[in-house]
Amino acid sequence: MSNAFPIAELGHYALVLALALALVQSVLPLWGAKTNDARLMGIAPTAALAGFAFVAFAFAALTTAYVTSDFSVRNVWENSHSAKPLLFKFSGVWGNHEGSMLLWVLILSLFAALVAVFGRALPKSLLATVLSVQGWIASAFLAFILATSNPFARLDPAPVEGRDLNPILQDIGLAIHPPMLYLGYVGFSIAFAFAVAALIDGRVDSAWARWVRPWTLTAWMFLTAGIAMGSYWAYYELGWGGWWFWDPVENASFMPWIAGTALLHSSIVMEKRGALKIWTILLAIMTFSLSLLGTFLVRSGVLTSVHTFATDPTRGVFILLILVGFIGGSLALFAWRAPLLKPGGLFAPISREGALVFNNLFLVAATATVLVGTLYPLGLEAFTDKKISVGAPFYNLTFGPLMIPVLLAMPFGPMLAWKRGDLAGVAQRLSAALVAAGFAVVLTLVLTGAENLLAPLGAGLGIWLIAGAIVEIADRIKLFRTDFATSWSRLKGLPRSAFGSMLGHSGIGISVIGIAIVTGFQAETITTLKPGETATVASYELRYDGAAPRTGPNYREDVAHFTVTRAGGAPIAMQPTKRFYEARKSGTTEAAIETIWFSQIYLSIGEWSDDGALVVRAYYKPMITLVWLGALVMSFGGLVSLTDRRLRIGIPRRAKKRAVAAIPEPAG
């Protein structure tokens, strides 16, 4: 395709301008905040908005090059093909190293622009400082892109056809998973910027926590959904039927999630009670540091996976420098300035604060175990030349035991009073949840013939969490302890965040049930079938009917036809396929998945042998969809919390007064 319009050069130029703006945004507003110069401080929002506009322009330029299949742009040639479906031309923009970094910076500058728009009611100097810190991050990553990962490099002469996108990435998952994930872990940069701003200011109060919380919630909500989406994508695309592999790249997004979860909880204490200030600041720094570490692990090429598109040592060194600069710098700032912050309110160990501290201790310890498991092999290889891998058995022994106390204690937390709680009283009020959990254990044991003890206990734990969350709401509205009309009006009067936390906690419970049941009771069959032959998995019979070729837009595939039946049930047609992508000379296997209520039948195939026999791998995965549904419920809980009026960032001062009057805390 001829290209008279220099769209790539304009995109490149826009990135350079964005870098210049980010540098301005890094310095002048901060200086303005220091010297109390309103004019300099006023630059920050404008620079943030303009910076976003330039990055968005660059991103649009690259997208245009993809959609018009402009193979004179090297990045497009390497990762696209004219016959590629349009959706994958769009999503292919970030299906490579350069484009993915551009998406990273786009989302970073989007968040800065949002702070500029919604943060107008923030104290001027705080807003200026926060945006300055955002400017530092944007400068570092824009410089990284321009210096080592320019997506706009040209090829001369332009090839006529592209090399196509890695077939494994030609999936709707690529359109959803990376943007969600980045909205999550780049979103934590706002909490980081607020934390650094508080340290620079040497001042922090509960209003600060209220300003940061919506941003943390937003990031957490997207990260939760993004991780769940990635897990489901790996499950159906990679053909192993697994939904979590403890792969270092998964851990890279999981660590900020655990730390972010801890941060969400500690900022509640800070907002409501003015306590745990210093700790919350430290957590905000750690959470974003883990996001940066994740970016480093995935983008530097120290790991090999589907996420690391190419390896180039200069990139690794550059990101490592950014990582060391930001983490080291912010921790040094923390060590220097944190002692200036005044400690907050007192509380007894048994109290809501105490419960949240308990949550934080265990979540942070769990994050640390994941961190060790992720970095230890890298360290060992660097220092001793020994190569090891750390997989599920390690995490089952470390992460698992640390999560159990958190989950067991979870229903207690929201029911304890602030400052000093009554554990025995709460236990009594939770007795209904305990009964429900016990019932779930017994029911699962009976239904499954007591072949496995861990799975029923896991299911009971899940029910404990869900029932506990419901009991908490019932308790707050005095359900059955007063007339129904009063309960109803109390229910309507509850803040949205109460429902948000109920959904969040129930979501964990739902996922736990799914994990327990599928781990304990999944069935697997591997066999070879000729046309007309049958095999069984769990209580299903599958018959292989034969294969037929089919042609797709940029691939051809062999479709294996199966009929799956259960005694007395209607037959289900399932068609796993083997695809071959001509341009890349490589193939993928597309598993066939049939969802029956919350369970799934998963059918994947291997190669055909010369006599027409086909290797078949079939799973029955009971309750597996609960694993992801739970995560979606958690994410939805985040959204519900976000609509709580007290968290509306536009009206911090008014909200502050209201918050004092409007929190109907349960009597202790």
Partner 1 sequence: MTRKQRRLTLIGAAGLVLALAAGLVLFALNDQIVFFYTPTDIAGKDLAPGARIRLGGLVEEGSVQQGDGGAVRFAITDTQNRLAVNFVGLLPDLFREGQGVVVEGTLGADGSFKADSVLAKHDETYMPREVADALKKQGVWQGEEGSTTQ
Which residues of this protein are in contact with partner 1, per CB under 8 A?
166, 168, 238-240, 303-306, 343, 346-349, 357-358, 361-362, 365-366, 368-369, 372-373, 376-377, 386-391, 393-394, 397-398, 401-402, 526-528, 578, 584-589, 604-607, 609, 615-617
Whole-number Å distance between alpha carbons of 408 and 468: 10
224 vs 604 by CB, closer to partner 1: 604
Enumerate the β-bridge partners of residue 608.
614
**For every residue of 170-221, which 3-state class applies, written as one string?**
CCHHHHHHHHHHHHHHCCHHHHHHHHHHHHHHCCCCHHHHHHHHHHHHHHHH
Angstrom distances, CA of residue 271 to CA of 163, 208, 219, 534, 655: 53, 8, 18, 62, 12
Per the rule left: phi > 0, alpha: psi between -120 and 50, beta: everything else, 5 is: beta
Max alpha carbon distance in the chain (Å)?
82
408 vs 662 by CB, closer to partner 1: 408
Closest approach, Cβ 346 to partner 1, in A, equals 6
Show Cβ contacts of residue 520 under 8 Å, excluding neighbours closer than 6 positions: 448, 452, 454, 455, 456, 458
Backbone dihedral angles phi then psi of residue 550, each to the nearest 5 degrees: -150, 150
Whole-number Å distance between alpha carbons of 77 and 71: 5
CA 634 from chain center: how many Å?
Answer: 11
248 vs 637 by CB, closer to partner 1: 248
Closest approach, Cβ 379 to partner 1, in A, equals 11
Closest approach, Cβ 310 to partner 1, in A, equals 9
Q: How many residues does the chain have?
A: 668
Closest approach, Cβ 85 to partner 1, in A, equals 20
397 vs 446 by CB, closer to partner 1: 397
486 vs 609 by CB, closer to partner 1: 609
Write out the H or E segment, with its range, that includes residue 581: strand 577-581
Closest approach, Cβ 574 to partner 1, in A, equals 16
467 vs 618 by CB, closer to partner 1: 618
46 vs 305 by CB, closer to partner 1: 305
Residue 554: closest CA among 523, 527, 576, 585: 585
Write out the H or E segment, with its range, that includes residue 469: helix 454-476
386 vs 657 by CB, closer to partner 1: 386
Closest approach, Cβ 538 to partner 1, in A, equals 18
Q: Do the beta carbons of residue 63 and residue 143 sit within 8 Å?
A: no
Residue 272: closest CA among 187, 362, 355, 185: 355
Closest approach, Cβ 242 to partner 1, in A, equals 10
57 vs 394 by CB, closer to partner 1: 394
Closest approach, Cβ 187 to partner 1, in A, equals 27
Closest approach, Cβ 361 to partner 1, in A, equals 4
113 vs 270 by CB, closer to partner 1: 270
Q: Do the beta carbons of residue 180 and residue 631 sit within 8 Å?
A: no
505 vs 578 by CB, closer to partner 1: 578
Closest approach, Cβ 529 to partner 1, in A, equals 10
Q: Do the beta carbons of residue 637 and residue 500 sit within 8 Å?
A: yes
Closest approach, Cβ 313 to partner 1, in A, equals 12
Closest approach, Cβ 37 to partner 1, in A, equals 40
Closest approach, Cβ 621 to partner 1, in A, equals 16
Give the residue carrying structure tokens 């958690």: 634
Identify the burial level of 300 via C-beta atoms within 10 angstroms of its C-beta, where 0-12 means exposed, 13-18 middle and 19 or more buried.
buried
316 vs 377 by CB, closer to partner 1: 377
Closest approach, Cβ 349 to partner 1, in A, equals 6
For helices 97-118 and 188-201, the axis angle rounded to 10 degrees is 50
398 vs 641 by CB, closer to partner 1: 398
- Two tokens at 129? 């400082």
Closest approach, Cβ 516 to partner 1, in A, equals 21
Write out the H or E segment, with its range, that includes residue 513: helix 496-521
Helices in 68-187 by DSSP H: which ranges?
74-79, 86-91, 97-118, 124-148, 172-185
- Two tokens at 503? 């959904």
231 vs 589 by CB, closer to partner 1: 589
Backbone dihedral angles phi then psi of residue 465, each to the nearest 5 degrees: -70, -45
Helices in 522-624 by DSSP H: which ranges?
none
Cis omega (within 30 of 0) for bond into 157: yes
387 vs 492 by CB, closer to partner 1: 387
Identify the burial level of 393 via C-beta atoms within 10 angstroms of its C-beta, where 0-12 means exposed, 13-18 middle and 19 or more buried.
exposed
Write out the H or E segment, with its range, that includes residue 564: strand 556-566
431 vs 609 by CB, closer to partner 1: 609
DSSP three-state, residue 601: strand
Closest approach, Cβ 123 to partner 1, in A, equals 29
Dihedral angle computed from the Cα positions of residues 258, 262, 267 and 269, in that order, rounded to the nearest 10 degrees: 160
